[in-house]
Structure 1
Amino acid sequence: MSKNIFNTIPTKNYEEANPKINPEEFKKVVTSRRSVRVFTNTSIPENIMNECLDLALLAPNSSNLQPWEFYWVRSKDKKQELVKACLSQPAASTAAELIVCVARTNTWKQNAKKMLNLLESQGDKVPKTAIDYYKKIVPLAYTQGFLSIIGTIKKPILYIRGLKTPTPRNPVSNSDMVLWATKTCALAAENLMLALRAHSFDSCPMEGFDAQRVQKILNLPKDAYVVMVIGAGEKAPNGVYGPRIRFERSSFIKEV
């Protein structure tokens, strides 16, 4: 197999602490997380909200380009508007906090530049392949051009290349970029909800909202896409509407 940026193992090793984790505690966090529809009037301490948001930002993301934004809506007026935009559902109207999770399709440019500057500032501590990745591969992969013209040109080229060798075929359009950013944003949103549960608070990811109204309330740019609105707080006694339902495991877990 020929050597390239994707399959070359760096010669400079980086070591990081690997703490021992209690799997039962993690299992407790995951299994006790439910979509809570009604919250009590108990507030979430500011330091806990900030910690949970910081943990959200530790989620894995493509090329470390971090195409996400989280709007913690603290203004009383904006919060009331947001509740209405979320159809006034109890998960929004009773929530102690509302966080709007937003995917961005254009911020990869500035974040790639930040990554490149950071890597170059470390001199020979960083392998050349990492520098080349942000100089060459990232712009080639994510640039789509006006009306996806560049992406449209890339699509047949990648198809032909893929006939001979494994080739990443996406993103090749603006809609592909939306999907790319949304996947990453959703990973971080899950981090946020699990972090809240670890602090004994609950959450509800809402997809029932008027996206245009949310865009207007937050004055979001054109490349911003609202992935979900998360209501957070303490679960009320009637906060969960029923037992968790999951279909048979064999329908979703495939061994091949």
Structure 2
Amino acid sequence: MNPLASHSEFSESATTFRSLVESRRAARQFAAEAVPETIIRDCLELAALAPSSCNLQPWSFQVVRDPARLQQLQQVCLGQSAARAPLIIAVLARPDTWRSACADVLKLWPEAAVPRVIDRFYKETAPFQYNQGWMGWRGFIKRQMVRVLGYKRPVMRTPNSLMQMRLWAVKSTALAAQNLMLAFQSHGYSTCPMEGFDEKRLKKILPLPKEAIPIMLLAVGLPGVHAIRNPRLRFPLEQNVTWL
């Protein structure tokens, strides 16, 4: 959107966005009709526009359309009716891709020359921040440094362990997953983010990278007759919001 757009134009966008968000519901039943590849690609492109820590984009997606694999996933998803969708996308957090991502930022920088501060950040600062070392030994040392330096000034305290790297990747990937769901909704396709699945069996069906964390299996398709089974319920806003 034009940054100089009028207030009325922003108001129109806000109304459209509210309508989109309010229309998104977790569908439990899907029609058998396949999702066109052009729409899948468009939605994945919009997912990739999500913000991520240091723009390292620690996510990947596996698009499952093969009928045999989809049938296997129904069992992996513990028999959920949503797992009978014509399309399932495995949304994966990737704490292991930070090193190649640093190199890709510099290689794919959208200007003729990479600014010196950017070059230094992705060659020095980011590697120091995200490299936890074998079995996390670097992270252990950094945690001691943080304890000392943090007495006198604010410091970057995470991620400084292998577990914190997993959390780091999951947080950014969750943002991309929300983009992905809203993108499909904008095309008229319903989704259901499934977290109930057998991760061990999933790894036998999909070629998941060793360090990948499957945070959800996203069922996608046109909504079936009984797609929405219950009324929407959300807690009162003031229950979870503090105004300071």
TM-score, normalised to structure 2's length?
0.92
Q: CA separation in 1, counterparts of 2:143 and 2:210? A: 24
| Residue 158 of structure 1, aligned match among 128, 138, 146 | 146
Look up the SS of the partner of 2:215 in the other structure.
Answer: strand
Per-residue deviation at 1:122?
2.8
Q: Does the aligned pair in 1 maintain the 2:70–2:86 contact within 8 Å?
A: no
TM-score, normalised to structure 1's length?
0.88
**Cα gap change, 1:241 to 1:49, in 2 (>3 Å):** same
Q: Does the aligned pair in 2 maintain the 1:120–1:131 contact within 8 Å?
A: no
Q: Does the aligned pair in 2 maintain the 1:170–1:176 contact within 8 Å?
A: yes
* Residue 200 (structure 1) aligns with: 188
Question: Runs of 5+ in structure 1 lacking a partner?
Answer: 1-15
Segments ≥4 residues shifted beyond 4 Å: none
| 77-86 vs 179-188, greater mean Cα deviation | 77-86
AA aligned to 2:68 is D
Q: Deviations along 1:129-188, whole A, 9 cap, x unmatched? A: 211111111001100111111101110101211111111111111111111111111111
Q: CA separation in 1, counterparts of 2:77 and 2:146? A: 41
Q: Deviations along 1:102-138, whole A, 9 cap, x unmatched? A: 0111111011011123449833xx4322111111110
| Residue 103 of structure 1, aligned match among 93, 97, 116 | 93
Q: Does the aligned pair in 2 maintain the 1:70–1:102 contact within 8 Å?
A: yes
* Residue 5 (structure 1) aligns with: none
* Residue 242 (structure 1) aligns with: 230
Pairing of 1:1-256 with structure 2 (within 5 A): 17-18=2-3, 20-21=9-10, 22-93=13-84, 95-119=85-109, 122-123=112-113, 126-256=114-244
Q: CA separation in 2, counterparts of 1:142 and 1:160? A: 19
Identity of aligned residues (%): 39
Look up the SS of the partner of 2:35 in the other structure.
Answer: coil
Q: CA separation in 2, counterparts of 1:225 and 1:231? A: 17
Q: CA separation in 1, counterparts of 2:107 and 2:200? A: 36
Q: Does the aligned pair in 2 maintain the 1:215–1:226 contact within 8 Å?
A: no
